[in-house]
């Protein structure tokens, strides 16, 4: 067995030293480095991009016969970092205390490094799929929505990235719960149904507050309801399977969540948004002048909806929380409607993950999860309706309580043992699925 941990660690350190903060991204140097490594190992490699400095990498290892295509997906752009807040420089790739430190160490240059190291190790040994193709796809622009990356390549070059199975980011850190260890597998992502709440009043001079009808003050009760009331639960397939795997009753999500709060209140905070529609008021607009009582006020709300559900469910939950618009004195305007996306909870890919975990981490059980945000998986599910796409990067040492606070934060780092563990998974799962 090759030294996958060493290879993945060295590659991750190198990738972190490429500054790919998005914007502007400037991912080309990192992509060219990866392209050389994969081409030298025997992959057919292309760099495809809408913008010259921001190419997407597509590397293919063809099989000996027709069969399924497995895609190992990742992105190399990152969010910004403030060096003064860090113990180690965020672009150092330092190896210290058993971890690689730097921006992207978790999100998600670590997965790029593990997937590429695994793929190269197979190709260099002369392995080729018995049936099907292995795709290694490294994208740009995920942190800004994917217009230069997943959205573009799935739209403009779908045949280059068409696949049957896809492994991406989204889960895999250890979830300790009630004395057991679990590994999350992200099977779905929530949709985005943002809206605005409009409240009307009457303008007046601010020097005499009672002469007008201040719409901003009329909006306060609506904000209080958004703060104090939580909508009812709409539990879909992924969270239902998750609750069952944790020994909780998916038919009674309120009781399940109450029990989880007793056992692990931090985990409960992460799980609760998976169980239904959520509302987060994030913006408010009122008077444009400091001396004018506002005749109207608008609250901007970020609303996330479970996959398979749409605006009808979201609107019903809005009325549940805020009351009937006519009686509560507001108007509703939907500003963004993007349906959630999902893959089946059970599939040959899930079977292969479950079998691998049973062999290499027998004390851990698998737990399907849904992501409350989004990844590039949504573009692949939209372009290829039959693809089975999961988020999975298995850890053995770092838990969700350690990884989640570090993503997009200072001192982002990954345990090198987890990096090697994940690289072994990507190598083994490739052979299990493609022969």
Which among 312, 338, 364 is the end of a domain? 338
Residue-level pLDDT at 371: 95
Please check whether residue 386 lies inside any domain of the structure: yes
256 domain-assigned: no
pLDDT, tens digit (0-9, with 9 covering 90-100), for 392-410: 999 999 999 999 999 999 9
* Cα separations in angstroms, 132 against 70, 129, 343, 383, 433: 8, 6, 21, 20, 9
For residues 25 and 27, give the distance between their C-alpha atoms in angstroms, rounded to a whole number. Answer: 5
Q: Are residues 401 and 280 part of one domain? A: no
Q: Which of 318, 338, 358 is the last residue of a domain?
A: 338
Mapped onto helix, strand or coil, the DSSP state of residue 119 is: helix
Residues 346-379 have pLDDT tens digits of 999 999 999 999 999 999 999 999 999 999 999 9
User: What is the overall mean pLDDT for the chain?
Assistant: 97
Pairing of strands 331-338, 191-200: antiparallel
Domain boundary among 290, 323, 338: 338
Find the domain containing 305 and state its range.
191-234+276-338
CATH of the domain at 403: 3.40.630.10
- CATH number for 319: 3.30.70.360
Rounded Cα gap, residues 66 and 92, in angstroms? 43
pLDDT digits (tens, 9 = 90+) for 253-268: 999 999 999 999 999 9
Asked if the model's pLDDT at residue 1 lies above 80, the reply is no
If asked whether residues 331 and 359 sit together in one domain, one would say no
**Confidence band (pLDDT; 50, 70, 90) for 2?**
confident
pLDDT (average), residues 236-247: 96
* Same domain membership, residue 152 and residue 123: yes
Q: How many residues does the chain have?
A: 435
Cβ neighbours of 296 (radius 10 Å): 18
Q: How far apart are CA 394 and CA 173, in angstroms?
A: 6
Specify whether 130 is located in the same domain as 153.
yes
CB neighbours (10 Å) of residue 274? 24
Phi-psi region of 42 (alpha: psi -120 to 50; beta: other; left: phi over 0): left
Structural domain total, the chain: 2
| Residue 181 · residue 314 · CB < 8 Å | no
Which pLDDT score, from 0 to 100, does residue 85 have? Answer: 98
State pTM to two decimals. 0.94
Together in a domain, 51 and 166: yes
- Domain assignment present for 428: yes
> What values do phi and psi take at 275, rounded to 5?
-90, 5
Is 183 within the bounds of a domain? no
The answer to whether position 222 is within a domain reads yes
Q: Considering only CA atoms, which of 97, 23, 82 is closest in space to residue 53?
A: 23
Neighbours of 116 (CB within 10 A): 28
Domain assignment present for 264: no
Q: 348 and 408 share a domain? A: yes
């Amino acid at each position: 067995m090759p030294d996958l941990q060493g290879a993945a660690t060295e590659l991750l350190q190198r990738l972190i030293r490429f500054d790919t903060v998005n914007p502007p991204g400037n991912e080309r140097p990192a992509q060219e480095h990866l392209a050389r490594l994969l081409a030298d190992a025997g992959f057919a490699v292309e760099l495809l991009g809408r913008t010259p400095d921001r190419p997407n990498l597509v590397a293919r290892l063809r099989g000996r016969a027709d069969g399924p295509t497995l895609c190992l997906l990742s992105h190399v752009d990152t969010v910004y970092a403030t060096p003064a807040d860090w113990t180690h420089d965020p672009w150092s790739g330092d190896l210290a205390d058993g971890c690689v430190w730097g921006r992207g160490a978790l999100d998600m240059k670590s997965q790029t490094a593990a997937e590429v190291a695994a793929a190269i190790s197979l190709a260099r040994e002369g392995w080729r799929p018995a049936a099907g193709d292995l795709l290694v796809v490294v994208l740009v622009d995920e942190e800004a929505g994917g217009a230069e990356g997943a959205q573009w390549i799935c739209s403009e070059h779908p045949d280059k990235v068409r696949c049957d199975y896809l492994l991406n980011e989204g889960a895999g850190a250890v979830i300790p719960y009630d004395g057991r260890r679990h590994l999350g597998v992200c099977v779905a992502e929530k949709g985005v149904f943002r809206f605005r709440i409009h409240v009307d009043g009457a303008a007046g001079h601010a020097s005499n507050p009672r002469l007008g009808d201040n719409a901003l003050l009329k909006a306060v009760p609506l904000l209080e309801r958004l703060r104090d009331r939580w909508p009812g639960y709409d539990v879909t397939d992924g969270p239902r399977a998750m609750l069952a795997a944790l020994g909780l009753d998916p038919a009674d999500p309120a009781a399940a969540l109450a029990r989880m709060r007793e056992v692990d209140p931090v985990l409960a905070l992460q799980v609760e948004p998976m169980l239904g529609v959520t509302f987060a008021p994030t913006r408010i607009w009122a008077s444009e002048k400091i001396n004018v009582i506002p005749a109207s006020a608008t609250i901007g709300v970020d609303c996330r909806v479970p996959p398979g559900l749409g605006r009808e469910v979201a609107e019903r939950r809005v009325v549940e929380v805020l009351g009937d618009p006519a009686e509560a004195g507001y108007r509703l305007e939907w500003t963004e409607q993007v349906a959630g996306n999902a893959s089946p909870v059970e599939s040959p890919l899930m079977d292969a993950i479950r079998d691998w975990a049973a062999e290499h981490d027998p004390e851990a059980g698998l737990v399907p999860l849904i992501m409350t945000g989004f990844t590039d998986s949504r573009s692949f599910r939209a372009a290829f309706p039959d693809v089975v796409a999961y988020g999975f990067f298995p850890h053995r040492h770092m838990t969700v309580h350690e990884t989640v606070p570090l993503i997009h934060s200072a001192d982002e780092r990954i345990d090198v043992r987890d990096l090697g563990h994940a690289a072994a998974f990507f190598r083994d799962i490739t052979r299990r699925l493609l022969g």
